[in-house]
Structure 1
């Protein structure tokens, strides 16, 4: 987020982060409400994200009904690309932090890609855990490490802050696509929304006022805004792609924070890897016949190797994060929920509202998503190519 603020400016970044957070939250609301409408119409207890899209098209206007399976496949594809992309970002993040520490104490300058290759055997072993229950303890340890590491990082951020007037309030129009991609990567988590709501003891508490969704998103946006605002204020134009890379290298405390957060991200790789693997396996297991267990393990190993190869090919953390955010999360988080709502309410009586306000509102969100997708993708790819 401090890198996102560097591409937006201090004041503009603060307001834009809250704006994007509000839009993302609203899109989750319309997705969940569309799911409730469709569950009632189809008399089914719950639906996943891709299932909501398929159901919306199945019961929607007749011209779009034939695209129901395509809608489901499209969302599943983007979910896989998004989550696999996040796994690749994790690998770059872990390797970058480890390189900073190891190179400093060994007085060497090894290629970042070597650290990624060294992670491969450990990631393969970790990815072979098939039961989500066994991944939960690793997540708990990761939470503790993240909290401790970020506490240490904040100590360095808040120590000796420069004059705030020296930090620009607005960067430039050309840098805003990078801000959009990075911010939406941090804030958007629509892939976990439907499983979360479907598994709640009282799903009615998820939406509403204040509700689990509004409360959770407010806390998340507030935390990210705080880290972004103070991180950029402290380091200005020297802000790096990960704020953990900014504190001084010659202090054990700051180096320990990098190690803690690198280990924490490594421990959460299994959870991030679990969802795309589940989607891929569900759609390919029939091809393995009686050797399904062997096939699943083989597929897991190949997917891990693929994520490491992509990370090695694109080792530039900042533009990589922005690219994943622009390509996947602007579609999943902004465009698809709006399309699903339009298809769901199109034939309902007064579904579009007075003066068709829901139609114009969703067109505006889709246009915003398309703008972020096109500009963010273009600028991110340009930055990646220039860095090579």
Structure 2
């Protein structure tokens, strides 16, 4: 009944003799990256909700404000969801968010396939440097890596998990590819996210923007739940007092610190796509590409085969390219924004 960090630690403990002394360190590093990934998701969710509602509110009010103001406006909602203490209380929000997301996607497809432009007008090839940043964003869209093992531990038939992972990943990949290509074909110069390019004056488009924004907002609690569930047991074990009041005070302080920290980062760098690319290059790529091959190599070292070595070397090279060039391109985009070279307005 192990989570991802414990699996990483025990893989080193059963691996080659010379790496066993690093087992605990590998587990700690994995936990740090898990927390980083989920706090990163919270930052991106905050930015998406704030900028999407900004577009809707400013359309009806004709009054423009800095996106940072909207981040502050939504801070109480962020706090409320970040303080939900139990996963079972977050489940209804997740279900509602999924319903809103499904509604938004269906209506968005209506716009994409209404009067479809000829895709032959698009360039077959564009620039190569943004590709690694795209890969990091795509990995972010698919990242459920940290939830698989805890979910498997609660399943009646855990041996079904590999089939569920393959099925869900294939389904998500197909949906993202169809949605991405059809959205790009309809709005090739989409800024930020393609949803923001739907015609704001139409009611259906307003419904899409609000529905998907609400789905992201309701999912925000899950982004905070995972790192708190990792950090709080470690902190609680080091608290000398047994007073439940002090425990609640420490836990509240931890949750509030996480919420304030992610909100401040969103305020500091309110450019969603380049920030997502940068954080994903540093965290998501590592948790989805590097750590799994390290676990496999250390666990199966005695019976390792050449195909397994070749596969993991290829994955390592892909991870390295995404890490280096994704970080560089994302950083360049953020610098360009702060240098006054603005992207095309939505």
1:369 aligns with 2:338: no
With normalisation by structure 1, the TM-score equals 0.83
- Per the alignment, in what secondary structure is the counterpart of residue 129 of structure 2? helix
Report the Cα distance in structure 2 between the residues aligned to 1:287 and 1:194, rounded to whole angstroms. 26
Please give the residue correspondences for 1:237-386 in structure 2 after superposition, counting only pairs within 5 Å: 238-288=189-239, 289=241, 290=243, 291-346=246-301, 348=302, 351-353=303-305, 356-386=306-336
**Structure 2 contact 281–323 (Cα < 8 Å) conserved:** yes
Root-mean-square deviation over aligned CA pairs? 1.3
CA contact (8 A) 2:140 2:280 kept: yes
Partner of 1:110: 65
Deviations 1:178-214 (A, max 9, x none): 221211111232111211222221111122xxx2121
Counting only pairs closer than 5 Å after superposition, residues 66-215 of structure 1 correspond to structure 2 as 66-207=21-162, 211-215=163-167
Corresponding residue for residue 63 of structure 1 = 18
Matched residue SS, 1:47: coil
Runs of 4+ in structure 1 deviating by more than 4 angstroms, as ranges, are none
TM norm structure 2:
0.93
Task: Please say if residues 133 and 322 of structure 2, whose CA atoms lie closer than 8 Å, have aligned partners that are also in contact.
Answer: no
Cα pair 1:87 1:307 within 8 Å, conserved: yes
Equivalent residue for 1:235, pick from 187, 204, 214: 187
Q: How many Å apart are 1:163 and its aligned residue?
A: 1.2
Alignment equivalent of 2:169, drawn from 199, 206, 217: 217
**How far has the Cα of 1:252 moved from its partner?**
2.1
Q: Please state how far the C-alpha of 1:315 moved relative to its aligned partner.
A: 0.8
- Matched residue of 2:187: which SS? helix
Q: CA deviation at 1:287?
A: 4.1
**Structure 2 unmatched ranges of 5 or more:** 339-346
Q: Distance in 1 between matches of 2:133 and 2:253?
A: 36
Tell me the SS of whatever aligns to 1:51.
helix
Contact 1:86 1:324 in 2 (8 A): no
